[in-house]
Amino acid sequence: MVLPRPLFQHTISFRVRYSETDQMGTFYNSRALEWFECGRTELLRALGLPYAELEARGVFLPLVEAHIEYLGRARYDDLLQMTTAVTFSGRARVRLDELILHVGTGHAVVRGWTVHAFTTATGKAIRPPSWFLEILAKPR
Amino acid sequence: MVLPRPLFQHTISFRVRYSETDQMGTFYNSRALEWFECGRTELLRALGLPYAELEARGVFLPLVEAHIEYLGRARYDDLLQMTTAVTFSGRARVRLDELILHVGTGHAVVRGWTVHAFTTATGKAIRPPSWFLEILAKPR
Amino acid sequence: MVLPRPLFQHTISFRVRYSETDQMGTFYNSRALEWFECGRTELLRALGLPYAELEARGVFLPLVEAHIEYLGRARYDDLLQMTTAVTFSGRARVRLDELILHVGTGHAVVRGWTVHAFTTATGKAIRPPSWFLEILAKPR
Amino acid sequence: MVLPRPLFQHTISFRVRYSETDQMGTFYNSRALEWFECGRTELLRALGLPYAELEARGVFLPLVEAHIEYLGRARYDDLLQMTTAVTFSGRARVRLDELILHVGTGHAVVRGWTVHAFTTATGKAIRPPSWFLEILAKPR
């Protein structure tokens, strides 16, 4: 599976928590969106743009659209590897693509993407700040 | 906004829990998938096919794909109304469309859909049982 | 089981959500605290002091201590009944006692209590506002 | 703050997830129990008794009692350090004490404990298996 050519990508690994399982014995479906959030957090930190700092500067990135495909099982304590890749989506949004693999078997577990607007704390849409664009677009 | 013509649809209402908010002051994005689950549960009960009974009969409906659009804000304790509509998606899957409205303002909050396979408890794909199809497709 | 003689008590009922189960097949333990929150919300509404309004007036009730006993099982979609009772705990705190019963069997599922301080939005301790005390303590 | 002299103790660190915050701007109270679970998981792994393996051998450790004190704030992305210590609680239960510190400030954030029974998959109480006791009690 191939992610679109991103401006930047970042990989983390983590284990499925017990609280993330359900009675089907695998992770509950909404956890994928919580994991995507962890992927964004670490990608932004790796870029030098920690999200907590963005919010402190008055820039919020609320989710406006999400798509998730459930491709395989993962159970409590299984080790997962997630790659997050960032691209622009139009002029005022960012898109993050995510791919989660099961480290033990190599199988894909979840693939998906989220699109985020730039807003103020009260939800008013704003243009991406220039300092954000510069960091994101700089050649690597 | 119009949902596709469903085999059956069902509406419930509920309030945003404090535990469902995040520091942005609205509901955290993954809660939408948890609410969709509540909508499915009540639609199946209204159909006379409680999901707990389906699982007791060995029929599971794991999520294979989900799509969510975040259209408006909802805060702690806001009253929301969610309509869930079921259709077939190919011969071996069901699709549920969801629309969540803010009762106070009438604005749309979330729109989305999920696609579900039919499987055994261990995740093996099966055909939809005939008793399920009969109940779902019977004229109303 | 007997709750302490409260200033006021209130009972609600709800069903276990699928997202609240874990691979043990019952509700995951932290959900009890989320349910207690729903009990507090509805008790305060019944008192005429909706918590959203308290926060809008600048009064927050953060949890400072919680105790939970897990007494019985409850599974997905089981109907539960929760009674919440409020008392004072010293001069500047409120205590809420909770008892959750399984409607189908009558068995106790969870018993517990939480203690809450009165604070400003930034977490500074304050005395309970007089209008709060008057409503809470008025004879019924 | 001092934890009781344990049979074994283990320390991990982690960051507050965005999904774990609430509209008060700190972590939502029930997350403490989810973090305690992570602490138990890593303590058992460090002991050579991974919990997933315990369950695979038919030994479950459901929570029967929990106590939590909320001592300080922690915000999204704050780095926390949690020490988990295990002792026996009577002859057929284990108790885990937890202390969570804020790495940046050194302040205590949460202190608490959980008590766990030994049961089969269906919830029947059992004695702690001898191989479990031997590993837990061996001199270090």
Q: How confident is the model over D29-76, as pLDDT tens digits?
A: 999 999 999 999 999 999 999 999 999 999 999 999 999 999 999 999
Q: What is the pLDDT of residues B123-135, one digit of tens each?
A: 899 999 999 989 9
Residue B5 has a pLDDT of 73
- Collect all residues of chain A within an 8 Å Cβ-Cβ radius of residue B23: 55
CB-based contact (8 Å) between B68 and chain A? Answer: yes
**CA separation (Å) from C14 to B64, B71, C47, D51?**
28, 28, 20, 31
| Alpha-carbon gap, residue B33 to B30, rounded angstroms | 6
Chains that touch B (3 or more CB pairs under 8 A): A, C, D
B42-58 average pLDDT score: 94
The terminus-to-terminus CA distance of chain B in angstroms comes to 23
- The pLDDT mean for chain A works out to 93
Contacts of D117 (CB under 8 A, 6+ apart): D61, D62, D64, D92, D93, D125
| pLDDT of amino acid D1 | 47
A66: its two tokens: 């999400």
Nearest CA in chain B to C32: B19
Which of residues C138 and B44 earns the better pLDDT score?
B44
Q: Are β-strands C8-15 and C63-70 bridged in parallel, bridged antiparallel, or unpaired? A: unpaired
What is the spatial distance between Cα C99 and Cα C101, in angstroms, rounded to a whole number? 7
Distance CA A30, CA C55 (A): 28
AA letter at B28: Y
Is any Cβ of chain A less than 8 angstroms from the Cβ of C30? yes
Asked if C28's CB is within 8 angstroms of A23's CB, the reply is no
Confidence of residue D13 (pLDDT cuts 50, 70, 90): very high
Q: Which two tokens stand for residue B99?
A: 């629309």
Kindly tell me if the per-residue pLDDT of B4 is higher than 80.
no
d(CA A61, CA A123): 9
**How confident is residue D136, by pLDDT bands cut at 50, 70 and 90?**
confident
Quote the pLDDT of residue A14: 98
How confident is residue C91, by pLDDT bands cut at 50, 70 and 90? confident
Give the pLDDT confidence of C2-55 residue by residue, as tens digits: 455 788 999 999 999 999 999 999 999 999 999 999 999 999 999 999 999 999
Nearest CB to B68; choose among A34, A55, A65: A65
Residues facing A12 on adjacent strands: A82
pLDDT of residue B1: 47
Q: Please, what is the average pLDDT of chain D?
A: 93
The two tokens of residue B87 are 């259709």
Contacts of A73 in chain B (CB under 8 A): 123
Confidence of residue A1 (pLDDT cuts 50, 70, 90): very low
Q: In terms of DSSP bridges, do strands B8-15 and B79-88 run parallel, antiparallel, or are they unpaired?
A: antiparallel
Q: Is B67's CB within 8 Å of A66's CB? A: yes
pLDDT at position A5 is 73
Strand partners, B100: B82, B110
Residue C1 in this model has a pLDDT that exceeds 70: no
CA–CA distance, A15 with A98 (Å, rounded to integer): 16
In order, the DSSP letters of D44-102 are: HHHHT--HHHHHHTT-B--EEEEEEEE-S---TT-EEEEEEEEEE-SSSEEEEEEEEEE
Give the start-end residues of each E strand in chain A: 8-15, 63-70, 79-88, 93-102, 108-117
Mean pLDDT, residues C59-79:
97
- Structure tokens that stand for D112 in this block: 């608490």
Q: What is the mean pLDDT of chain B?
A: 93
How much of chain D, in percent, has pLDDT values that exceed 90? 84
pLDDT of residue A4: 55
From chain D, pick out residues whose CB is under 8 angstroms from the CB of A38.
Answer: 17
| B-C contacts at Cβ under 8 angstroms | 38
> In the prediction, which pLDDT does D4 show?
55
Per-residue pLDDT averaged across B14-37, rounded?
Answer: 97
Decide if C75 touches B, using CB distance below 8 A. Answer: yes
pLDDT of residue B109: 98
pLDDT of residue D19: 98
Residue in C19, C21, C22 to test binding to A, most A beta-carbons within 10 Å: C22
Interchain CB distance below 8 Å, B69 and A70: no
∠ CA C62-C17-B125 to the nearest 5 degrees?
A: 140
Phi, psi of C120 (to 5 degrees): -80, 175
pLDDT digit string, tens, across residues A20-53: 999 999 999 999 999 999 999 999 999 999 999 9
Residues 4-23 of D with CB under 8 A from B: 18-19, 21-23
Contacts 24+ apart (CB under 8 A), B26-29: B26/B73, B26/B74, B26/B75, B27/B74, B27/B75, B28/D18, B28/D19, B29/A33, B29/A37, B29/A63, B29/A66, B29/B68, B29/B70
* Residue B48 sits at the chain C interface (C-beta within 8 Å): no
A 78-137 near D (Cβ less than 8 A): none
**3-class state of residue D126 by DSSP:** coil
Q: Is the dihedral of CA C32, C38, C42, C48 positive or negative?
A: positive
Chain C residues close to D33, C-beta within 8 Å? 29-30, 33
pLDDT digits (tens, 9 = 90+) for A73-121: 999 999 999 999 999 888 889 999 999 999 999 999 999 999 999 999 9
The pLDDT tens digits for D113-126 are 999 999 999 889 99
Instruction: State the pLDDT at residue D86.
Output: 96
Whether residue C18 and residue A21 make contact (CB cut-off 8 A), yes or no, is no
pLDDT digits (tens, 9 = 90+) for B73-105: 999 999 999 999 999 888 889 999 999 999 999
Chain A residues with CB-CB distance to D37 below 8 A: 17-19
Distance CA D94, CA D88 (A): 4
Q: Would you call D29 and C33 a contact, using CB atoms and an 8 Å cutoff?
A: yes
Min CA distance, B137 vs chain A (Å)?
A: 27
Q: Among partner residues D15, D34, D50, which is closest to A19 by beta-carbon distance?
A: D34
Q: Is D18 exposed, middle or buried (0-12, 13-18, 19+ CB in 10 A)?
A: buried
Tens-place pLDDT, residues C48-60: 999 999 999 999 9
Half-sphere exposure of A135 (CA within 13 A, CB side): 14
The pTM of the full predicted model, rounded to 2 decimals, is 0.95
Confidence band, pLDDT 50/70/90 cuts, at residue D89: confident
> For tokens 């259209």, what's the residue?
B71
